[in-house]
């Protein structure tokens, strides 16, 4: 019998990727395409949904070619995606009625304020597990219905569909037939009741969102539909939000297992098992995945700007040519860095939740050079992670033994060492840092019987462990300075 493969699609914030994974859990080939970010106004971030789809389809085709396998050898497709980003399209023409409003977009801050004024904070937390913030899909959907000509009328007539990026891709891959999402993505909309697993009538009413717009919600490892390629029907059997997929891909199956992904943003998730647990410290409660008729939950600390700050050094300030170079430049500064960069370019996420914070640079002196700035920007990823981890340890009863890391910026050894130093925790990087892709592949593969969940742990190999070196005094002194800087960026734009 010929070897079978899983095709994983990872539609991220900065790029669309596709990977072919073999039965041993090894990535055979990978394709990636960056696509344009659209910034129409300060605080607004959009993507063109057609570009997203086209780039995803191109990577899908090229990755199969690169792997030199037959379409019939693909046993299943798994989809993982940037979460919260909102698309509304016309189901008759298949065309989006507006660009996708990206998770980083802050245009709906005032809609969030009005929800707070209506006293909905507690309801949102208890029902959706989230905090009221422009980050989630709910207020973005409301904004599109209110601001795009004829949108509300068409929505009421039942002509429009809403989706996070997974739904948009699924609908298109299934020949415009299947309008669905999985529980992990639904839990990021701020419209989904994560206990009763249904859309929340109160929030739909308050935000005036017709239910006909919404996708059906299914488990994460589930046969959603088929993608027909060259006459072969390939089942789509896994969908999860990218951060939940990374948690799965890292094999964090037990309560207390945690991972941190350093991509465009930084997302620290801890599996809390099948019991719902609400945070007292500014973290989100989210659905990790639905599998085998069970729902698993996670606590999440979302940091909006991480690798995006490195892109800012490259594309905005133009003081580096590539993200990789930052490691070399940071090491040029041997002395302790007096500069602190707070990259609050999209406000502050967990645990502060300040939509009005703005980025800032502190501690400049006459001898400050570009290397100090680069080093401080890398350090800001580690400091933000510490903020979130402290909150997580306040909530969780189990102390964290080590932090599993992945994502683009986890390749940076300077950053990973500083992360271990500032946390005073071992940082463990797997050989395969493509945890997101692996999570999508595993969810899809489990559904078609390629793997059992237990086998996944034995496929995971460690590349390097970073052990902490700072004295308590140094660690505390540096972190205190960071907290002082954070205080000064809060509530900047009133
Ligand atoms: N060696 C590196 N050092 C620091 N940052 C890096 C490095 N390599 C990649 N990055 C950053 O990581 C991000 C890309 O990671 P990735 O996991 O692909 O992100 P996403 O899934 O959000 O598109 C980019 O923002 C990039 O600036
Ligand atoms: O696309 P990424 O990897 O930056 O992830 C984005 C998150 O899903 C946003 O919540």
**Domain residue extents for the chain:** 5-241, 251-493
Could you please state the CATH topology (level 3) that the domain comprising 5-241 is classified under: Nucleotidyltransferase; domain 5 (3.30.420)
Ligand 2, CB within 6 Å, residue ranges: 12-13, 82-84, 103, 241-243, 263-265, 302
Q: Distance from the CA of 205 to the center of ligand 1, in angstroms? A: 39
Q: Indicate if ligand 1 lies below 6 Å from the C-beta of 13.
A: yes
Q: Indicate if ligand 1 lies below 6 Å from the C-beta of 272.
A: no
pLDDT of amino acid 370? 96
Domains 5-241 and 251-493 share a fold: yes
Residues comprising the binding site?
13-15, 17, 83-84, 135, 242-243, 264, 307, 311, 408, 412
Beta-sheet pairing, 180-182 with 216-218? parallel
Q: Distance from the CA of 368 to the center of ligand 2, in angstroms? A: 32
- Answer whether 185's CB lies under 8 Å from 216's CB: no
Q: Distance from the CA of 412 to the center of ligand 1, in angstroms? A: 9
Say if pTM beats, i.e. exceeds, 0.90: yes
pLDDT of amino acid 1? 54
Q: Distance from the CA of 441 to the center of ligand 1, in angstroms? A: 21
Sign of the C-alpha dihedral computed for residues 268, 192, 291 and 74 taken in this order = negative
CA-proximal residue: ligand 2, atom 9 (nearest):
83
What span, in angstroms and rounded, lies between the C-alpha atoms of 111 and 201? 18
Q: Which atom of ligand 1 is the closest one to the Cα of 14?
A: 23
pLDDT averages per 10-residue partition of the chain, 494 residues: 90 95 95 93 94 97 96 97 97 97 94 96 96 96 97 96 98 95 98 97 97 97 96 97 96 90 93 89 95 95 94 95 97 91 93 93 95 98 96 78 89 97 93 91 96 87 93 96 96 82
Ligand in nearest proximity to the CA of 80: 2
pLDDT of amino acid 279? 87
Q: Indicate if ligand 1 lies below 6 Å from the C-beta of 129.
A: no
- Answer whether 237's CB lies under 8 Å from 221's CB: yes
Q: Which atom of ligand 2 is the closest one to the Cα of 264?
A: 4
Q: Indicate if ligand 1 lies below 6 Å from the C-beta of 326.
A: yes
What span, in angstroms and rounded, lies between the C-alpha atoms of 283 and 72? 44
pLDDT of amino acid 108? 96
Task: Indicate the length of the chain as a whole number.
Answer: 494
The best mutation among 81, 100, 103, 288 to test binding of ligand 2, ranked by most ligand atoms within 8 Å of the C-beta, falls on 103
The best mutation among 310, 321, 327 to test binding of ligand 1, ranked by most ligand atoms within 8 Å of the C-beta, falls on 310
> What single DSSP character describes residue 457?
H
Q: Distance from the CA of 479 to the center of ligand 1, in angstroms? A: 24
- Answer whether 236's CB lies under 8 Å from 76's CB: yes
pLDDT of amino acid 334? 87
Which residue, 410, 34, 55, is CA-closest to 250? Answer: 410
Q: Distance from the CA of 231 to the center of ligand 2, in angstroms? A: 33
Residues comprising the binding site for glycerol?
83-84, 135, 242-243
Q: Indicate if ligand 1 lies below 6 Å from the C-beta of 126.
A: no
- The residue ranges of DSSP E strands in 383-450, in sequence order, are 402-406, 426-430
List the Cα angle 311/312/316 in 5-degree steps: 120
Q: Distance from the CA of 386 to the center of ligand 1, in angstroms? A: 19
CATH of 251-493, one of 3.20.20.110, 3.40.50.970, 3.30.365.10, 3.30.420.40: 3.30.420.40
Q: Distance from the CA of 83 to the center of ligand 2, in angstroms? A: 6
């Amino acid at each position: 019998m010929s070897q079978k493969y899983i095709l994983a699609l990872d539609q991220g914030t900065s790029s669309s990727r596709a990977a072919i994974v073999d039965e041993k859990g090894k990535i055979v080939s990978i394709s990636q395409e960056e696509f344009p970010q659209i910034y129409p106004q300060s605080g607004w971030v959009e993507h063109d949904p057609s570009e997203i789809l086209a780039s995803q389809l191109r990577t899908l085709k090229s990755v199969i070619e690169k792997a030199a396998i037959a379409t019939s050898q693909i046993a299943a497709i798994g989809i993982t995606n940037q979460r919260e980003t909102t698309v509304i399209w016309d189901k008759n023409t298949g065309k989006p009625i507006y660009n996708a409003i990206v998770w980083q977009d802050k245009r709906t801050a005032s809609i969030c304020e009005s929800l707070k004024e209506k006293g909905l904070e507690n309801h949102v937390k208890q029902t959706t597990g989230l905090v009221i913030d422009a980050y989630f899909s709910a207020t973005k959907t409301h904004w599109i219905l209110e601001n795009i000509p004829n949108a509300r009328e068409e929505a009421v007539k039942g002509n429009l569909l809403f989706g996070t990026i997974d739904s948009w891709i699924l609908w298109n891959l299934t020949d415009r037939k299947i309008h669905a999402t999985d529980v992990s993505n639904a839990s990021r909309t701020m419209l989904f009741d994560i206990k009763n697993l249904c859309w929340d009538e109160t929030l739909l009413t308050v935000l005036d969102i017709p239910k006909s717009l919404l996708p059906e919600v299914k488990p994460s490892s589930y046969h959603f539909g088929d993608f027909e390629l060259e006459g072969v029907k390939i089942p789509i059997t896994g969908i999860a939000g990218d951060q939940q997929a990374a948690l799965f891909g890292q094999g964090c199956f037990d309560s207390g297992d945690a991972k941190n992904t350093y991509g465009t943003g930084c997302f620290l998730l801890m599996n809390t098992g099948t019991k719902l647990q609400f945070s007292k410290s500014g973290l989100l409660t989210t659905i990790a995945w639905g599998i085998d008729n069970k729902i698993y939950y996670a606590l999440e600390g979302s940091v909006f700007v991480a690798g995006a700050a490195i892109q800012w050094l490259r594309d905005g300030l133009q003081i580096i040519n590539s993200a990789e170079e930052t490691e070399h430049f940071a090491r040029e500064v041997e002395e302790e860095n007096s500069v602190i960069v707070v990259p609050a370019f999209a406000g502050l996420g967990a645990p502060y939740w300040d939509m009005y914070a703005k980025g800032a640079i502190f501690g400049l002196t006459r001898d400050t050079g570009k290397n100090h700035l680069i080093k401080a920007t890398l350090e800001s990823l580690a400091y933000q992670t510490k903020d979130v981890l402290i909150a997580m340890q306040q909530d969780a009863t189990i102390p964290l033994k080590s932090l599993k890391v992945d994502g683009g910026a986890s390749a940076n050894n300077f950053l990973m060492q500083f992360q271990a130093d500032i946390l005073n925790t071992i940082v463990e990087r797997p050989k395969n840092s493509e945890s997101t892709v692996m999570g999508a592949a595993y969810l899809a593969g489990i559904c078609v019987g390629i793997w059992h969940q237990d086998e996944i742990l034995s496929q995971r190999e460690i590349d390097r462990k970073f052990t902490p070196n700072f004295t308590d005094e140094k660690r505390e002194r540096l972190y205190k300075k960071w907290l002082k800087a954070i205080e000064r960026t809060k509530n900047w734009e009133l």
